[in-house]
Amino acid sequence: MSQERPRTTISVIKADIGSLAGHHVVHPDTMAAAAKVLAEAKSKGIIIDYYVTHVGDDLELIMTHRKGVDSPEVHEVAWNAFQEAAKVARELGLYAAGQDLLAEAFSGNVRGLGPSAAEMEIVERPSEPIIVFMADKTEPGAFNLPLFRVFADPFNTAGLVIDPKLHGGFKFEIYDVIEGRYVVLNAPEEMYDILALIGTPGRFVIRRIFRKSDDEIAAVVSVERLNLIAGRYVGKDDPVAIVRAQAGFPAVGEILEAFAFPHMVAGWMRGSHFGPLMPVSQRHARCTRFDGPPRLVALGFQVKNGRLIGPSDLFDDPAFDETRRLAQLIADYIRRHGPFMPHRLGPEEMEYTTLPEVLEKLKNRFKEAKLYEVKGPKVKTELLSSSRG
């Protein structure tokens, strides 16, 4: 009788705990403080392995363990690591120290407390390559377009056409961040339904993707929205994602290809602007121009018996130089709009920024105008008077 193979959980948990000189880069002393907490957890057997890194002003904890998704024990380790890092940030006088830590005490899970988490539990293949994506100055919906291309677009992923293991397609779990509910849709059969939802990335976010043939998990994205948790603007969500690659999943090159187009995402300066998502190397993961543009780092690992082998800095490649150049051209163009849409976010998103404070100051200075009649939720452009001037 064969023994059941152990399951490995990969947890990527991030938080903004303070930055050197504004919102642009994590201080190495805060990373060291977090790593010390994780090293202790490893020595106690709580986690198997870990890797501490950053993208922009976000501290990233990559951990492996046997305790499953949403483990209170593992999440407490992450919480304690962020607390210790935030303590160092305050001692150094770093900007926005402890920004993403919205609660005073840990309550069993970091979700809802400020940090974001992407986790998946798997039975390791003989060779288990994964890619950890980490973004700064944007929201979870930033992954909608590239992940759709990876797992549903045959013009991006050749394996959907020529690899029998991928040919059956994938299932998309799409989460409504406003209503707190989700729907599972199949590709390619329900491709148009998928696009109808995820084309509104501020509300409908791809949370998980599964292979249809056996329900094996392929990808997971953090979907926490900080402004919805806090009820006010406290910083952009800066999502993370884990994607499995090769041998029944898209190849590493197919996954990265989806990010060769620097598509427009919400976030950037004060979380209030659209800008291009720029894939960068770890050493360039610092947001400076207008606190941006939004950055994305991709680290490739092999997972073996819970150990993290690597990483490889996947966007540290001249093949992405033209993508970065295009991102800068887009940034130049969109920046010329200044405070105007479409550079500035629409009113439904600006509601969660600091703009309402400005509108509150002006509200008593507005005077009623009787040029048009307002009926229901829509403005009807019908003159109340039939006279013509």
Q: Is 236 marked as a binding-site residue?
A: yes
Band the pLDDT of 386: cuts 50, 70, 90: very low
Q: Is 109 annotated as a binding residue?
A: yes
Mean pLDDT of 142-148: 98
Active site residues: 16, 233, 236
Task: Read off the pLDDT band of 353 (50, 70, 90).
Answer: confident
Q: What is the mean pLDDT of residues 95-123?
A: 87
Domains of the chain, each with CATH number or no CATH = 1-123 (3.30.300), 124-375 (no CATH)
Which is more confident, 367 or 162? Answer: 162
Residue 383 banded pLDDT, cuts 50, 70, 90: very low
More confident residue, 149 or 227: 149
**pLDDT tens-digit readout, 34-78:** 999 999 999 999 999 999 999 999 999 999 999 999 999 999 999
352 marked ligand binding residue: yes
Q: How confident is the model at residue 226 (pLDDT cuts 50, 70, 90)?
A: low
| 3-class DSSP string for the chain | CCCCCCEEEEEEEEECCCEECCCCECCHHHHHHHHHHHHHHHHCCCCCEEEEEEECCEEEEEEEECCCCCCHHHHHHHHHHHHHHHHHHHHCCCECCCCCCCCCCCCCCCCCCCCEEEEEEEECCCCCEEEEEEEECECHHHHHHHHHHHHHCCCCCCHHHHCCCCCCCEEEEEEECCCCEEEEEEECCCHHHHHHHHCCCCCEEEEEEEECCCCCEEEEECCCCHHHHHCCCCCCCCCEEEEECCCCCCCHHHHHHCCCCCCEEEECHHHCEEEECEECCHHHCCCCECCECCEEEEEEEEEECCEEEEEEECCCCHHHHHHHHHHHHHHHHHHCCCCCCCCECCHHHHCCCCHHHHHHHHHHHCCCCCCEEEECCEEEEEECCCCCC
**108 labeled part of a ligand binding site:** yes
pTM as predicted: 0.91
